[in-house]
Chain A
Amino acid sequence: MATTFKNFLSNDLANTRTLLHEAIPITGSIISGTYGGSGVAIGSETNIKTYGHGMFESVYDYPYLSSSANQIFDVTVGYSSTSPVSASGNTQNAKKINIYNQMAQYLVGYDITGSIKNFKMPTDNVEMKECYFVPFSRLLTKDEIKKGSFALELSVSGSQTFTQGGAAQYFVDRVKLTDTSGSNGYYVDSPAGEYGVLFGSTSAGATPLLLNETLGTAATNPAVGLLYYQAGVAVLSASIFNSSSLGGLIGTPAGDTAPANPHIANVGDVTTLGFTLNVTGATIAQMADGLRNRIYNISYNNTTELNSTIYFCRVGHGDFNYSSNPTYLSASQIRVKTRAADTPVTYFTTVGLYSADNELLAVAKLSEPLRKDPTNEITLRVRLDY
């Protein structure tokens, strides 16, 4: 009997898992410069969305009122209620504590008494009680950030006043935060998946910018934050924006005047420098603006996990040598034949995958027609990704 289907056998199916990676470069000008500039107040850039509750701000790749805009990451800041900077008189004190606790309960979890644990650097077990939080959107991160691929370059120039987008000298002194050990040195004791340590190193500047750092020696690069790969959240310690005199990691860059605390928020006078001194009087949005305008660039690779089923469509020499295409016949005679003894020939462009009740569930198209006749056999490998 003639037939138009061929059943799959048990060895015609295979399941695979593939990890796809995309490079995600985020240039600092999008974050702070492109939509800012003279006449635009900091925090009023058209690609920066702020909220009435003031708990965080969102960075878009385009003016966020446009339907073309994509949210790329958010910025917020918080500190533990046990932090030395926590005080009831601080601006948005409760909200900063709430943010810290929310991120901590999600990313660090609870101790055996059910209390929220603080962020802790696994390399030296020192708690990070004041932090910036940068959650990246799933649009960019996909299933996870690829371990060992993350880099965030920051300006830590100390003597420069806070400016939008950064004047030329603003980015003279820079450090790069990377998860260099991520591919083989990550941690798994977080309820939000795997995480790695962000290490800081001087990326621009004549002398080492970080305390006890030796240029080119990775072992001297201090731990400055955590990166949660599946959650897509970077947690930056306040120490990267404090001088050693404030308990931070910034030394005294050559050419800058002491103290070498970066001016991180658009509040106070220029003598009020460093994260610790700014965070008490600045709002979360102002602190977020400060970090944004300190970012030189961000790059990482994302990961998409593809689970695939491969169907091997084995077309034997005796299969599919005739067609039901209306043009195949002329007055019922097969057009590609002159005599009955001629070899039947068909050309196919499509593979249809069917259920038992003949419903077309998936379809695959070839980029060019393939010839089928009784002298050849073809195996088509159709992969469906989930």
Chain B
Amino acid sequence: MGFLDNSGDIILDAVLTDTGRMRLARGDGSFKIVKFALGDDEINYELYNKNHSSGSAYYDLEVLQTPVLEAFTDNAASMKSKLISIPRNNILYLPVLKLNEVFAGTDTATHSTGYFLVAVNTATEDELITDSSGASITGILTGESPGRSGSRIRVDQGLDTNAISPGRTLDPLLVETQYLIEIDNRLGHIVSKADATPASISFVDDDNIASYYLSRGTDREYVSEISDTTASTLQVIKGPRGTKLNFKIQSSLELNTSDYLFDTIGTTGNITGKNGATSHKQIKSTVRVIGVNTGYRLDIPINFVKKV
């Protein structure tokens, strides 16, 4: 995609996304636009210079000079960061999403490679769940039997600042009540932490990305309030806390029973487990968690692995 010509009047370059075209072709009335959002994917707010020597008219000079790319038709490539409407103008802090790797030690931490490893079958689980000394290996999600271990992914929400005590209540306007999880549906599915019950898929788009909407009211096994208001070392949000999201990943049947996707979009490399460094097929992917109301998103690196 090229840049849009920004030498004259402001122009608007509009296209249907691939998902839009797919729904239009379906002809079942599912192509219906009912709302809009604004995005600022290209904007780097670090360029906003509040200390510009020439005055406030120059604060955003560099931001406004940002060249803008043409519209992408891939629905997953656009609108990555959205603008937010909040009915108050005097807000100085906004909540973020953070991966909580410290809450439950090996159960919530990532693997030493920086990924969560999803062992897609029992043989891989047996190989990676403990090391040669019998100690648990961090960041191993048991993909065939999610209930086999307590390993899970936990995301916390709140104001990550030391300027406000965690004992203060987070403004209800800023508490995230619904999360969207996006995962490649060919690779895995979202299941609950407690009993590995599969979550309901809202829809799967044309690129096989499955979307799961999980709400505080209806999906308590996934979304709940963070009740700890202390400066605990088990918390990653330094200031007032909102909600937390817990989930596990179950590997897809295709990864469990076939090597096709591993051979097509994956690699092979050694991973250290019970028998030392052994060869594993791997597919590196990302699970995206988005706060539906607050718009903040977090990309969590996932590695689906299968013992060779």
- Is A206 close to B, CB under 8 A? no
- Is A133 close to B, CB under 8 A? no
Contact indicator A369/B43 (Cβ below 8 Å):
yes
Chain A residues, CB < 8 A from B199: none
Chain B residues, CB < 8 A from A357: 202-203
- Is A102 close to B, CB under 8 A? no
Q: Would you give the 0/1 interface string for A316-342, flagging 1 where the beta carbon is closer than 8 Å to chain B?
A: 001111111111110111111111111
- Is B38 close to A, CB under 8 A? yes
Chain A residues, CB < 8 A from B19: 359-361
- Is B69 close to A, CB under 8 A? yes
Stretch of B123-131, B133-141, B158-166, B261-269 that contacts chain A:
B158-166
Chain B residues, CB < 8 A from A332: 93-96, 159-161, 239
**B side interface size, CB within 8 A:** 85
Chain A residues, CB < 8 A from B15: 362-364
* A327, A348, A361, A369 — most chain B CB neighbours (10 Å): A361
Q: Taking A320-B83, A324-B84, A363-B78 as contacts, is the C-beta distance between A347 and B33 under 8 angstroms?
A: no
Q: Would you give the 0/1 interface string for B1-39, flagging 1 where the beta carbon is closer than 8 Å to chain A?
A: 000111000111111110110010000001111111111
Docked Cα-Cα span, A322 to B86, in Å, equals 7
Chain B residues, CB < 8 A from A372: 38, 83
- Is B277 close to A, CB under 8 A? no
Contact indicator A362/B17 (Cβ below 8 Å):
yes
Contact indicator B17/A323 (Cβ below 8 Å):
no
Docked Cα-Cα span, A355 to B203, in Å, equals 12
Stretch of A2-10, A35-43, A48-56 that contacts chain B:
A2-10
Q: Would you give the 0/1 interface string for B238-253, flagging 1 where the beta carbon is closer than 8 Å to chain A?
A: 0100000000000000
Contact indicator B5/A367 (Cβ below 8 Å):
yes
Q: Would you give the 0/1 interface string for B250-282, flagging 1 where the beta carbon is closer than 8 Å to chain A?
A: 000000000000000000000000000000000
Which chain B residue lies CB-closest to A314? B36
- Is A346 close to B, CB under 8 A? yes
Chain A residues, CB < 8 A from B69: 365
Docked Cα-Cα span, A382 to B205, in Å, equals 23
Distance to closest chain A CB from B86 (angstroms): 5
Contact indicator B91/A334 (Cβ below 8 Å):
yes
- Is B287 close to A, CB under 8 A? no
- Is A344 close to B, CB under 8 A? yes
Contact indicator B32/A355 (Cβ below 8 Å):
yes
Chain A residues, CB < 8 A from B33: 8, 311, 353-355, 361-362
Q: Would you give the 0/1 interface string for B52-83, flagging 1 where the beta carbon is closer than 8 Å to chain A?
A: 00000001100110101111110100110111
Contact indicator B13/A364 (Cβ below 8 Å):
yes
Which chain B residue lies CB-closest to A352? B79
Distance to closest chain A CB from B138 (angstroms): 26
Distance to closest chain A CB from B248 (angstroms): 24
- Is B196 close to A, CB under 8 A? no
Docked Cα-Cα span, A313 to B14, in Å, equals 13
Docked Cα-Cα span, A348 to B39, in Å, equals 6
Docked Cα-Cα span, A62 to B201, in Å, equals 52
Chain B residues, CB < 8 A from A277: none
Chain A residues, CB < 8 A from B32: 355-356
Docked Cα-Cα span, A357 to B211, in Å, equals 10
Distance to closest chain B CB from A298 (angstroms): 33
Docked Cα-Cα span, A348 to B85, in Å, equals 13
Contact indicator B70/A365 (Cβ below 8 Å):
yes
Contact indicator B50/A338 (Cβ below 8 Å):
yes
Docked Cα-Cα span, A5 to B17, in Å, equals 18
Question: Could you tell me which residues of chain A, from 1 to 24, have a CB within 8 Å of some CB in chain B?
Answer: 1-8
Q: Taking A4-B293, A333-B161, A365-B13 as contacts, is the C-beta distance between A350 and B40 under 8 angstroms?
A: yes
Contact indicator B83/A346 (Cβ below 8 Å):
yes
- Is B90 close to A, CB under 8 A? yes
Contact indicator B85/A320 (Cβ below 8 Å):
yes
Which chain B residue lies CB-closest to A380? B12
Docked Cα-Cα span, A364 to B238, in Å, equals 38
- Is B121 close to A, CB under 8 A? no
Q: Taking A325-B45, A344-B89 as contacts, is the C-beta distance between A6 and B10 under 8 angstroms?
A: no
- Is A368 close to B, CB under 8 A? yes
Docked Cα-Cα span, A319 to B177, in Å, equals 20
Contact indicator B36/A323 (Cβ below 8 Å):
no
Given contacts A6-B37, A322-B91, A355-B30, 5 further A-B contacts (CB under 8 A): A323-B81, A332-B160, A357-B203, A368-B64, A370-B10
What would 29 A/B residue contacts be, using CB atoms closer than 8 Å? A2-B174, A2-B295, A3-B84, A6-B35, A313-B36, A321-B84, A322-B85, A323-B82, A325-B43, A326-B81, A331-B162, A333-B92, A334-B93, A335-B46, A336-B48, A338-B50, A346-B40, A349-B39, A352-B39, A355-B31, A356-B34, A359-B203, A363-B17, A363-B75, A365-B71, A366-B11, A367-B6, A367-B11, A370-B10
Q: 4 closest Cβ contacts across the A-B interface?
A: A324-B295, A350-B39, A361-B20, A364-B14
Mark B residues whose CB is within 8 Å of A. 4-6, 10-17, 19-20, 23, 30-46, 48, 50, 59-60, 63-64, 66, 68-73, 75, 78-79, 81-87, 89-96, 159-163, 172-174, 177, 180, 202-203, 205, 211, 213, 239, 291-297
